[in-house]
Structure formats: structure tokens, C-alpha cells
Amino acid sequence: MKTHHIKFRAVNRDIFEAIRDGRKKIETRACDEKFRDIKRGDAVMLMCEDDTFTKTVRSAEVFTTIEALLEKYSPQDINPACASAEDIREMYYSFPNYKEKIKEHGLIALELE
């Protein structure tokens, strides 16, 4: 088992807290070199400012597009505050360089226990 680190910006503390309390069970990231080796059974240490906690990866799957991701998961699975595919797309594209990262690397979806 390997431990991976996932950082959240302070502005995204609501997402960090939703994972901690179990409202959000799917964490997604652009699947660049930092995240592509995450596997089932690995641990992820989630960090937001000085706050941390650890979850276990139940499954990890790579999707080539946002649309492919949304064929398996609902917008609310990915972010409880998102109601539609358009909300999800707007969320991803609001992150620095994410439109390009998704196009180049796809997205990894981590089901967390």
C-alpha cells in the first residue's frame, strides 16, 4: 500500500469537508503523473491548510473526458453542490489549467472509503 497526498486550496475547504464527513465519496483529479499511479487499497492523505485526514481508495478509474466520467457518476457524486453536467464542467474549468490537463491526461476518479 502506498500513501498519496492530495492538496486542497483553502477556497475549496467545502469539498475537503464533504469528503471527510462522507457526503462526497468520489474525488477526481486530472490524471497527470502525480495521480496516475493511485490504485485500489492505497491511502490518500487529504490536506487543506494545516488540516489533514486519510482515506482508503476503494477503486481508481481513469476517464478520457468529462462526458465519459459522467456516464458512470452523477454530478452530485463528484461534487454535492453540482446539479448538472454543465455545473461539473464549469467547476473543472475554474481550476488553473484544468481544461488543458483533462484534454492531455483525462481524469482519475477515486472512490474513497
Of 7, 65, 61, the residue nearest 34 (C-alpha): 7
Backbone φ and ψ of 39, nearest 5°: -130, 165
Query: How large is the average pLDDT for residues 72-76?
Result: 94
8-64 per-position pLDDT tens digit: 999 889 999 999 998 898 999 999 888 999 999 999 999 999 999 999 999 999 999
Query: How large is the average pLDDT for residues 88-106?
Result: 93
pTM of the model: 0.90
Per DSSP, 39 falls in state -
Question: Domain spans of the chain?
Answer: 3-112
Burial 16-43 (b: 16+ CB within 10 A, else e): bebbeeeebbbbbbbbeeebeebeeebe
Query: Using 50, 70 and 90 to split pLDDT, how confident is the model at 95?
Result: confident
Query: Is 2.30.130.30 the CATH classification of the domain at 3-112?
Result: yes
- Sequence-ordered strand ranges (E) for the chain: 3-8, 26-30, 43-48, 51-63, 107-112
pLDDT at 92: 93
Query: How large is the average pLDDT for residues 59-78?
Result: 95
pLDDT at 25: 87
- DSSP-derived pairing of the beta strands 43-48 and 3-8: parallel
pLDDT at 1: 80
